[in-house]
Chain A
């Protein structure tokens, strides 16, 4: 039966793959991860605008790789390595003595470039994992599962998400209006004539939204004393610190062991206590909450398998995970990690297909063109799209 999978399940799945890819620089394994991500996104994303995000993350990943390689060539040119294959030589700029250790220009080697490429690939694939989570899970629904104590934060994020397209629309409208005045100037004057109406508009809109939310009961207070609030704050900040340290420890294999799992667990515990305490002051219910059933468990499991396999492989010292670039060798494909990564692709089968909108509905019209279908897309200027009978 088509339904939306719980957003948290997708996030855990994607983070599992991210953990896996942080453990390897093997381009074959990384390519395999991108393939798995692409396969699952293609088969399980919905038609919503945010579901098209994956390709932008792919482009971003490419940019990251290119930047990494270019910077390495510019600044990392090595001059004193013995067994190197020089690709070409850039003019070498001598730097003053206080900048010792930084090279500008010099010989660009195959080894250095390849190493930068592997590093960049790893970072790029990490980004793709986040992109996959963002296009599979509705960001607003993901925020809805935030615990009560963080509810206000979630609302602030949701509201600012909806403000961005409104600002764009506002700017378009005002720019068009400026032409009506024959105002073709550029520079500071133009900035002023656009920024002031847009900002005034945005301010008025925010005030109206705030008053609407206030009159609809947003922020009704439950029972919490100031002392409770302080304790909650301390717990939350401590917990967040633990989580950050733990995540860093887990993702960076060279960090001391204590910084990894133990810090993560301690942080999580502190956060949970803080959230439970803070949640007491909010009384709210949720409309049609996303269920957590078997498909959610299966998706989470399929995402955690590659993470576990690669972490274990690092522990067992599987050399193929980080192919050597000095001396140059062809990367080989280690079998067990590859199978582990392929298991994550099962998420595309075990998760329910997303709900597709009814055919021939007006939703087929892309959102941006609709919101600009009339020059002034304020209230009451929806385009002539009608619901089919």
Chain B
């Protein structure tokens, strides 16, 4: 279905190719998963499938890409629209019309599908993806998972043979991600659609893949059977790492496979002492932030309903919950910059909401969901100098030192927009830490980060906690929470519905349990590292 013949892609301003001598074929009805570190040519690979690379992006493509018998050299993306459907990372920015039904029809209108066929296909697609009840809804009012399914539906109405998905679940909560992946696997199994999918969160998708395509740093690509590839892959989900640790072969890719093998491992670690998280860093326990009855309303919608929250110094708290459950609103209200209709917040005896912004940020620092909103200067050095000026010299360390401590090796002269997601996050974090806040709030910091980047973020968060700061991380990433948080707070429709130590809250939850917990339940192991420690002790 898709053939790459000796494909090399080079962008104009760089000397090294992004993809080098790629030679592979993806057969009809396969689900191919594209993996690799952030910044390698995953998106380039996906773009090459329908000719967006190089027709839309520029650059030079040597070799040949043939899709359903059509060469992308002679066919522009629009002329491949009837065979390849593409869904980008942010579905909202790809929508052309306003309502679900019109969006589903848009692609067909471009392809001049007759009106009666269009009507029929729209109805079929609404049912196929389970979005029939959304048909008249405005697109911007849909939740993230619904938007993603509408985006998939809007390309599926053209009946393409190939579906290309770029990080379809990266912005979604675990339940919404399951919905989207269920829809995708249904397309593969029932309609025989060939799916090419890139995803950082391997734990969500690797078990569905028929073929794994790994893009390496030098632009070369290796491919093969997922279980075989996973034995050596640079990025691997926790269940695979657990399999590697336990020496299982073939490696399990799903929780179900692993659980069936894990009997001996469970017995081996069962009589070990309960895994301990790192000891509290601040003794005796000290309250950093005390919030009572925080309420946030936007017109008729109440986003946060009278929430009480205490944050301990040196404690890392994960804030979880569905998209739209009020996590961001709570963080912004607590910081003082967002609206707050009721309740009180107290940090070091003062309410950050009533302080001027410069002093509020010395109490509570917030890194928003789109960190780039805070950056507007031309170089990293200028941003850091500006941060030092803004903090008014309260911090003993300069922003530059903070950045080097968080992520060494970001050049002074680079442009903030050219940094990778992880580097940009570090830069904004350094800017915010320059004010030496008592409480640090991170809104969805793991979006777009690969496993190594998340590991280094965990390291950064541990340092912040060790310095005696209270850290709150709003996130959907259960694996990251398992590795990083001491405490988990779960929100639903504006209320806190669960609050407790990480192990207690997540092990029992079907949506929020990390893979290791699911494999070893009812034992309270959350991460591969904990298991490694337990097994290691046994050996010694």
- On A, residues with C-beta under 8 Å from B are 140, 155, 158-159, 162, 173-174, 176-184, 192-194, 196-197, 200-201, 205, 208-220, 283-289, 357, 362-385, 387
When the two chains form their complex, are residues A382 and B78 in contact, meaning their CB atoms are under 8 A apart? Answer: no
When the two chains form their complex, are residues A197 and B375 in contact, meaning their CB atoms are under 8 A apart? Answer: yes
A193 CA to B154 CA, complexed, in Å: 37
On chain B, the residues within 8 Å of A193 by CB distance are 376
Interface status of B141 (Cβ within 8 A of chain A): yes
When the two chains form their complex, are residues B90 and A373 in contact, meaning their CB atoms are under 8 A apart? Answer: no
Interface status of B503 (Cβ within 8 A of chain A): no
Residue of B nearest to A176 (CB): B337
On chain B, the residues within 8 Å of A288 by CB distance are 105, 115, 118-119
On chain A, the residues within 8 Å of B88 by CB distance are 208, 211-212
A-B contact count (CB 8 A): 256
When the two chains form their complex, are residues A215 and B96 in contact, meaning their CB atoms are under 8 A apart? Answer: no
One of A211, A216, A368, A387 near B81 (C-beta < 8 A): A216
Residue of A nearest to B392 (CB): A182
B389-418 to A contact mask, C-beta < 8 Å, 1/0 = 011000000000000000000000000010
Given contacts A140-B98, A367-B138, A381-B144, contact A180 B337 (CB under 8 A): yes
A385 CA to B102 CA, complexed, in Å: 22
A39 CA to B249 CA, complexed, in Å: 77
Interface status of B306 (Cβ within 8 A of chain A): no
Q: List 7 A-B contacts (CB under 8 A).
A: A181-B357, A200-B372, A211-B77, A285-B118, A379-B92, A384-B322, A387-B137
Given contacts A174-B373, A216-B110, A380-B323, contact A369 B102 (CB under 8 A): no
When the two chains form their complex, are residues B81 and A380 in contact, meaning their CB atoms are under 8 A apart? Answer: no
A91 CA to B368 CA, complexed, in Å: 59
Give, as a whole number of angstroms, the nearest-CB distance from B68 to chain A.
15
When the two chains form their complex, are residues B109 and A378 in contact, meaning their CB atoms are under 8 A apart? Answer: no
Give, as a whole number of angstroms, the nearest-CB distance from B440 to chain A.
12
A173 CA to B338 CA, complexed, in Å: 10
- On B, residues with C-beta under 8 Å from A are 50, 52, 55-56, 76-82, 84-86, 88, 90-98, 102, 105-115, 118-119, 122, 133-134, 136-138, 140-147, 154-155, 158, 171-172, 176, 298-301, 303, 322-326, 328-329, 332, 335, 337-338, 356-361, 365-366, 368-370, 372-376, 387, 390-391, 417, 431-432, 435, 443, 493-494
When the two chains form their complex, are residues A182 and B373 in contact, meaning their CB atoms are under 8 A apart? Answer: no
Most buried by B among A180, A364, A365, A381: A180
On chain A, the residues within 8 Å of B361 by CB distance are 180-182
When the two chains form their complex, are residues B494 and A384 in contact, meaning their CB atoms are under 8 A apart? Answer: yes
On chain B, the residues within 8 Å of A366 by CB distance are 299-300
Residue of A nearest to B417 (CB): A200
A377 CA to B52 CA, complexed, in Å: 28
When the two chains form their complex, are residues B143 and A380 in contact, meaning their CB atoms are under 8 A apart? Answer: yes
A201 CA to B93 CA, complexed, in Å: 11
Give, as a whole number of angstroms, the nearest-CB distance from A356 to chain B.
11
One of A158, A181, A214, A370 near B374 (C-beta < 8 A): A181
Give, as a whole number of angstroms, the nearest-CB distance from B67 to chain A.
12
Most buried by A among B105, B114, B118, B376: B376
When the two chains form their complex, are residues B94 and A212 in contact, meaning their CB atoms are under 8 A apart? Answer: yes
When the two chains form their complex, are residues A380 and B147 in contact, meaning their CB atoms are under 8 A apart? Answer: yes
Given contacts A177-B373, A211-B56, A285-B109, contact A382 B143 (CB under 8 A): yes
Give, as a whole number of angstroms, the nearest-CB distance from A297 to chain B.
22
When the two chains form their complex, are residues A381 and B323 in contact, meaning their CB atoms are under 8 A apart? Answer: yes
On chain A, the residues within 8 Å of B145 by CB distance are 380
Most buried by B among A155, A193, A287, A387: A287
On chain A, the residues within 8 Å of B137 by CB distance are 362-363, 387
When the two chains form their complex, are residues B141 and A384 in contact, meaning their CB atoms are under 8 A apart? Answer: no
A387 CA to B138 CA, complexed, in Å: 13
A369 CA to B300 CA, complexed, in Å: 8
On chain A, the residues within 8 Å of B301 by CB distance are 365, 369-370, 373, 383-385
Given contacts A180-B366, A284-B109, A374-B324, contact A384 B493 (CB under 8 A): yes
A376 CA to B49 CA, complexed, in Å: 32
Residue of A nearest to B332 (CB): A375
When the two chains form their complex, are residues A284 and B144 in contact, meaning their CB atoms are under 8 A apart? Answer: no
When the two chains form their complex, are residues B158 and A212 in contact, meaning their CB atoms are under 8 A apart? Answer: no
Residue of B nearest to A377 (CB): B140
When the two chains form their complex, are residues B84 and A192 in contact, meaning their CB atoms are under 8 A apart? Answer: no
When the two chains form their complex, are residues A179 and B337 in contact, meaning their CB atoms are under 8 A apart? Answer: yes
On chain A, the residues within 8 Å of B376 by CB distance are 192-194, 196-197
One of B90, B98, B115, B326 near A286 (C-beta < 8 A): B115
Give, as a whole number of angstroms, the nearest-CB distance from A338 to chain B.
41
When the two chains form their complex, are residues B94 and A208 in contact, meaning their CB atoms are under 8 A apart? Answer: yes
When the two chains form their complex, are residues B300 and A379 in contact, meaning their CB atoms are under 8 A apart? Answer: no
A309 CA to B51 CA, complexed, in Å: 60
Give, as a whole number of angstroms, the nearest-CB distance from A262 to chain B.
37
When the two chains form their complex, are residues A378 and B91 in contact, meaning their CB atoms are under 8 A apart? Answer: no
The 9 closest A-B pairs by CB, nearest first: A380-B144, A369-B299, A217-B81, A212-B94, A287-B105, A217-B110, A182-B358, A177-B373, A380-B171
When the two chains form their complex, are residues B298 and A373 in contact, meaning their CB atoms are under 8 A apart? Answer: yes
One of A211, A287, A385 near B109 (C-beta < 8 A): A287
Given contacts A209-B96, A384-B301, contact A217 B158 (CB under 8 A): yes
A380 CA to B148 CA, complexed, in Å: 9
A219-B78, A287-B106 provided; 11 other pairs, C-beta below 8 A? A209-B96, A220-B79, A286-B115, A365-B300, A373-B298, A374-B324, A374-B329, A380-B323, A381-B328, A382-B144, A384-B301
